[in-house]
Structure 1
Amino acid sequence: MLKLHKTAIGPKFPDFSSAKTPLKPHIAPPPPPAVAEVDVTSITNHVLKTNPEILTQNLPTLVQWTPELVHTILKRLWNHGPKALQFFKALDSHLSYTHSATAFDHAIDIAARMRDYKTLWALVAQMRTIKLGPGPKTFAIILERYVASGKADKAVDLFLSMHKHGYPQDLTSFNSFLDVLCKAKQAEIAYNLFKVFRRKFRVDMISYNILANGYCIMKRTPKALEILKEMVERGLEPNVMTYNIILKGFFRAGQTKEAWEFFLQMKRRKCEIDVVTYTTMVHGFGVAGEVERSRKLFDEMVGAGVLPSVATYNALIQVLCKKDNVENAILVFDEMLRKGYLPNVTTYNVLIRGLCHVGKMDRAVEYMDKMKEDECEPNVQTYNLVIRYYCDDGEFAKAFELFEKMGSGHCLPNLDTYNILISAMFVRKKSDDLVVAGKLLIEMIDRGFLPRRFTFNRILNGLLLTGNQEFAREILRLQSGSGRLPRHFRL
């Protein structure tokens, strides 16, 4: 039987070795290691494995706590929201350590992601009590989470009432909110707010750029061009960022001919053409299948005295992986190293994806190991893409081996990880696989992820159809008792 992360099964969600296994009582973990031997990973694992009551007692004395260490641990625990909040609260009563505003913002972001609004606003109130905020970043986090969860109306209400929380609105916070709305494909709401408040906040070029980008994200380049025209009519001169936004918008909408003409206009008007412009062109034409044109633009930028950035190399490597040959992408990667560029996690991820796509899984895993050698640790996206390809190849044991590594306290699985593995468990339609899917469901909910209604119903119905009725009922009892059951489920 495939193992799941033991750290996820706490007192409310015990582990099941089979559909008919009785619930096991919670057993407290062994005491933490000596302070001198503790590192970030071992602290993270201690938090993951420890009962909340015991954690509150022994955590303050575990190490010499600093804001930087707490921030690092909170980031490690990011994909286990309940444990992250337990860790944050366990340090509240520490005698010599006090949470920073950044730590509060991390905790508020985690609570908001879990849609635990009661905890969120309790943390905001606590910030006010100890005079740490809330500040502009705090509001930006809450606004973004409201919009992401489909509550744009609540986000607007919050923005309009920010002054009641001790932080008056200004142009910076207004632009930040417009950006949140636009990146969530709510450009119309953003533009309506813009029209109401542009005089009050004396909107600037940044405001217009944000709106233009919002319409480009939605592939509405004609509207983005209208925003550009309005900007000029109001006496604001477009900058290179404005032109790059429009250029990228054309490529997003599949308008390569228009993108090329716009690029030529930039040259004729002697507009500044920077590394972002060329990177956009290299990526845009490459994704459109014009690999040779993409390569020529890459060479042109070097000839024009514009040095490529890591992002430019990433764009070319991705293009070659998708539209040409992964071996050619590796040649560019090697050239990048020879020229002294340090690849980042995106560089490795696009290359690993390319290797996975052509079935070279062993080499993909070798590049994961190389990441560690280059002090560029694999992130959750790295693990997810390799796990996905292993599942697509029917290599479920290898997929779960990687999944277990993610539970080591360095890179915890996220919602996508669970969805990939749960979907894979339905391929063979085996009873044991459906039990694993049920365990994954319990674990993901325990970690603060709310499954889609479709996923929840699919697992419960799958368990019923494969003779695992008791396990299905146990999941239902556990989740309804915890208050984390998705609405409108059917069984």
Structure 2
Amino acid sequence: MNRLFTKSLCTSVAGANLKPPPSDSAAIANLILSSPTKTLDYQFPLSTKTPWTPELVNSILKRLWNHGPKALQFFHFLDHRHCEYIHSSSSFDLAIDIAARLHQHTTVWSLIHRMRSLRLGPSHKTFAIVAERYASAGKPDKAVKLFLNMHEHGCFQDLASFNTILDVLCKSKRVEKAYELFRDLRGRFSVDTVTYNVIVNGWCLIKRTPKALEVLKEMVERGINPNLTTYNTMLKGFFRAGQIRQAWEFFSEMKKRKCEIDVVTYTTVVHGFGVAGEVNRARNVFDEMIREGVLPSVATHNALIQVLCKKDSVDNAVVVFEEMVRKGYEPNVTTYNVLIRGLFHAGEFGRGEELMQRMVNEGCEPNFQTYNMMIRYYSECCEIEKALGLFEKMGSGDCLPNLDTYNILISGMFVRKRSEDMVVAGKLLLEMVERGFIPRKFTFNRVLNGLLLTGNQAFSKEILRLQSKSGSQLTRKFRL
């Protein structure tokens, strides 16, 4: 926990004796993380021999993804201090995505203008990134305006970019806005099957299957042929809306019309029946696909394992897992996460821990979901030290804590309601802000109240004073 108890995350000292960092993204990312913000510029001039490439830079930015300020600092350093190296368009897109997530809109547009000055863009992908951030932040109108004004920045709209903005709006549940834009501009872009699939999926995401069927009907009437993706999307929509009978009828109709049913179709049905609690029907469909000569994928096995964990028994899920391995399938991180969650939920902590170790031994690296899930269960069961141990492992490895990690662990500090746990919660709060995450008002107030009620008034005042002094987004967000 030493990382939490010091303001700086540093162990290195800037100076003339520092060796250039190796051309390894993990080593360089760790050096950046362990360096005080003010001394980063003094360390990296010594790394002029590092063979900077877009691949190396992108790998470092991805490793620093959950420490946005450090990632942007590194990006700007190379852009301004290493004149012999010019960022690629993909690196600019990553930096723009990070800045947009941090709500640094001035930086976003500064980077876009810099791209244009270097004749590297911006591209359709660049604008899709910014539009997605606007939409996820609850600003769909800004996302649409951005799309309509792309040409002002030298990037002209086409069918692909039109499909992308519709998809961005639909996936952020702004389906009405997407459908309105679709109707207004579909003549201008000569919409295709992909366009209609995006809209069908949008209505299915918000469980409005009658509207999705209307769009499907219109699609056929306009002479645009639905494809297997269209039907699979509609099938998934019925299951998502809990319309099990309609889903089965739709699936049966697909078979009757001799549609080329694929592994995605069967996986959708297996998962859909399982979530609805109809485990036997899910198993029957799984067996049927094998009889029909459609080989189950890893995703199909994952769906069945998840169903068994939730609706049947974790032991049966383990049996399916072992059979899957015996047949030569290679479990992915989702496979392990689903089964570890099932074991933990069943109180089988030892077996869950063993499976995580097996996962690592097999070369499958745990991801955010793995760590966050285990931290949550450890916290709920008062195994706070184990939860903190996993958190420390995240901070020192390839998987930096994300916003959910901090929220889960801060909540875990309130399980025992001890004074020292409240201090840790306060330090976690400060660290998450330092990394560019903005806590919810509930989280912020909960930590302050916890500190006050456990006699940590001095620390609570320090939090307010430090944030007020720094003028960070945290103080501007809350009226204290």
TM beyond 0.5: yes
Cα distance between partner residues in 1 of 2:465 and 2:12: 24
Of 43, 51, 54, 1:58 maps to: 43
Q: Deviations over 1:294-319 (max 9, x none)?
A: 11111111111111111111111111
- Residue 414 (structure 2) pairs with residue 429 (structure 1): no
- Aligned equivalent of 2:222: 234
- Residue 396 (structure 2) pairs with residue 408 (structure 1): yes
1:349 Cα deviation after fit: 0.8
- Aligned equivalent of 1:350: 338
Cα distance between partner residues in 2 of 1:479 and 1:272: 59
Aligned with 2:13: secondary structure?
A: coil
1:377–1:488 distance in 2 versus 1, CA, 3 Å: closer
1:115–1:37 distance in 2 versus 1, CA, 3 Å: closer
- Aligned equivalent of 2:86: 98
Cα distance between partner residues in 2 of 1:487 and 1:150: 19
- Aligned equivalent of 1:43: 28
- Residue 285 (structure 2) pairs with residue 300 (structure 1): no
Contact 2:372 2:405 in 1 (8 A): yes
Supply the AA of the counterpart residue of 2:43. N
- Aligned equivalent of 1:148: 136
Cα distance between partner residues in 2 of 1:120 and 1:227: 36
- Aligned equivalent of 1:192: 180
1:464 Cα deviation after fit: 2.1
Q: Equivalent residues in 2 for 1:64-103 (5 A)?
A: 64-92=51-79, 93-103=81-91
Q: Equivalent residues in 2 for 1:42-441 (5 A)?
A: 42-59=27-44, 61-62=46-47, 63-92=50-79, 93-441=81-429
Supply the AA of the counterpart residue of 2:307. V
Moved more, 196-205 or 46-55: 46-55
1:343–1:178 distance in 2 versus 1, CA, 3 Å: same
Supply the AA of the counterpart residue of 1:76. R
1:75 Cα deviation after fit: 0.8
Supply the AA of the counterpart residue of 1:131. R
1:134–1:37 distance in 2 versus 1, CA, 3 Å: closer
1:420 Cα deviation after fit: 0.4
Moved more, 326-335 or 275-284: 326-335
Cα distance between partner residues in 2 of 1:71 and 1:369: 29
1:333–1:60 distance in 2 versus 1, CA, 3 Å: farther
Aligned with 1:91: secondary structure?
A: helix
Contact 1:4 1:439 in 2 (8 A): no
Supply the AA of the counterpart residue of 2:122. P
1:163–1:172 distance in 2 versus 1, CA, 3 Å: same
Q: Deviations over 1:115-147 (max 9, x none)?
A: 111111111111111111111111111000010
Cα distance between partner residues in 2 of 1:422 and 1:490: 21
Supply the AA of the counterpart residue of 2:206. M
1:86 Cα deviation after fit: 1.1
Cα distance between partner residues in 1 of 2:11 and 2:225: 66
1:6–1:55 distance in 2 versus 1, CA, 3 Å: farther
Moved more, 72-81 or 340-349: 340-349
Cα distance between partner residues in 2 of 1:201 and 1:156: 15
Supply the AA of the counterpart residue of 1:192. E
Of 421, 424, 445, 1:457 maps to: 445
- Aligned equivalent of 2:474: 485
Contact 2:21 2:27 in 1 (8 A): no
1:36–1:400 distance in 2 versus 1, CA, 3 Å: closer
1:53 Cα deviation after fit: 4.2
Cα distance between partner residues in 1 of 2:5 and 2:207: 44
Alpha-carbon RMSD: 1.9
Cα distance between partner residues in 2 of 1:478 and 1:35: 34
Q: Which runs of 5+ in 1 are unaligned?
A: 16-25
1:427 Cα deviation after fit: 2.2
Q: Deviations over 1:240-295 (max 9, x none)?
A: 11111110001111111110011011111111211100000010001111111111
Q: Deviations over 1:145-174 (max 9, x none)?
A: 010111111111111100001101111001
Moved more, 411-420 or 458-467: 458-467
Aligned with 1:294: secondary structure?
A: helix
Q: Deviations over 1:330-357 (max 9, x none)?
A: 2212222222222111111111111111
Q: What's the TM-score once normalised by structure 1's chain length?
A: 0.93
Contact 1:320 1:329 in 2 (8 A): yes
Contact 2:204 2:238 in 1 (8 A): yes
Aligned with 2:473: secondary structure?
A: coil
1:95 Cα deviation after fit: 4.1
Aligned with 2:436: secondary structure?
A: coil
Contact 2:171 2:205 in 1 (8 A): yes
Supply the AA of the counterpart residue of 1:47. I
Contact 1:4 1:440 in 2 (8 A): no
Q: Which runs of 5+ in 2 are unaligned?
A: none
Contact 1:56 1:91 in 2 (8 A): no
Number of corresponding residues: 475
Contact 1:81 1:114 in 2 (8 A): yes
Cα distance between partner residues in 2 of 1:96 and 1:337: 49
Contact 1:356 1:364 in 2 (8 A): yes
Contact 1:457 1:489 in 2 (8 A): no
Contact 1:450 1:486 in 2 (8 A): no
1:27 Cα deviation after fit: 8.2
Supply the AA of the counterpart residue of 1:227. V
Cα distance between partner residues in 2 of 1:276 and 1:64: 43
- Aligned equivalent of 1:18: none
